[in-house]
Amino acid sequence: MSEGESGVQPTKVPERTVDNKPTIYTYATCPFSLKVKSLLKFRGIEFSNVEVDPMKKNELKWSEWRKVPIFIDTDGTQINDSNDILHYIDAKHGNEFPREGEDSQQDKWMNFSNDILGKSILPVIYNSYGSSRQALRYVADVESFTTFQKWKSIWLGGIIMRMVGKSRGKMFDLPPEENLEHQLTVLSAGFNGDFFGGTKPNGADFANYGILRSMQGLRGWDIVESHSKAGPWFARMQTTTGI
């Protein structure tokens, strides 16, 4: 099966919505999924959430795109890839930030969220088998998963994510914790007052906030919380989005 394409898909899949609401397919702690949830919450848009089993992904069998998040609008429009989803939702609900190609700074920092920040958090969170299992323990609370699914996600997933963490760590010259701190300083250079978007958040705020929100409570969270600029920005985003 091909990997599928990002962006708005040509085929509508209204049968994939739940309760006739916009529906997002996610892992509860997926950084890319949290970008989308933070925008939906901020705009007060009601939505349904389908929790995907990270090992088998049965819930995505119907889709060529095999990653989360996937967003399905009420009319069945399917959008793949978190930054594309942020743009789609904003264009439909309020049009409050520029579209891709209209603001090079917003584009740059939205790309940074995927290319750098999303990769910088992994070797910190998944630094050992123990911390990897801790990060995956959320599956124990997912009611739709069986006991075996939970066990497999935590134990097998812990081994896989430790390996992912190790390989992502090799992308950067600095050790994981120092690299994260450094990337937070790089990120802070893009703040334009309270937010990337100035007095209100734009796409770059939701994109980077979602990534860091996935770390809250996990290994390395103190690095974000105590960063002199990124820490207060994160706190503002959390108050503003309520997630």
Ligand X SMILES: N[C@@H](CCC(=O)N[C@@H](CS)C(=O)NCC(=O)O)C(=O)O
Residues that bind ligand X (CB under 6 A): 27, 30-32, 54, 67-69, 81-83, 114
| Burial of 138 per CB tally in 10 Å (0-12, 13-18, 19+) | middle
d(CA 161, CA 180): 18
- Identify which of residues 82 and 179 has a Cβ nearer to ligand X in the complex: 82
Closest distance of CB 228 from ligand X, Å: 28
Min dist CB 164 to ligand X, Å, is: 9
Q: Do the beta carbons of residue 150 and residue 172 sit within 8 Å? A: no
Closest approach of ligand X to the CB of residue 179, in Å: 19
Given the complex with ligand X, which of 67 and 227 has the nearer CB atom?
A: 67
- CA torsion sign for 192, 197, 200, 203 is negative
Cβ proximity to ligand X, 78 vs 83, nearer residue: 83
User: Which residue's CB is nearer to ligand X, number 79 or number 237?
Assistant: 79
Q: Which is nearer to ligand X, 13 or 194 (CB)?
A: 13
CA pair distance 169, 150, nearest whole angstrom:
27
Distances (CA, A) of 94 to 36, 55, 87, 207: 15, 36, 11, 17
Using an 8 Å Cβ cutoff, are 122 and 235 in contact?
no
Shortest Å distance, C-beta 147 to ligand X: 21
Residue 7 beta carbon to ligand X: minimum distance, rounded to whole angstroms: 11
Handedness of CA 52, 78, 16, 204 (dihedral sign): positive
- For the CB of residue 37, give the shortest distance to ligand X in the complex, in Å: 12
Q: Are 202 and 208 spatial neighbours (Cβ–Cβ below 8 Å)?
A: no
Decide whether 69 or 169 has the Cβ nearer to ligand X. 69
Find the shortest distance in angstroms from Cβ 193 to ligand X: 26
Strands (E) across the chain are located at: 7-8, 23-26, 48-51, 70-72, 78-80
Measured between alpha carbons, how far is 89 from 93 in angstroms, rounded to an integer? 6
Would you say 82 or 106 has its CB closer to ligand X?
A: 82
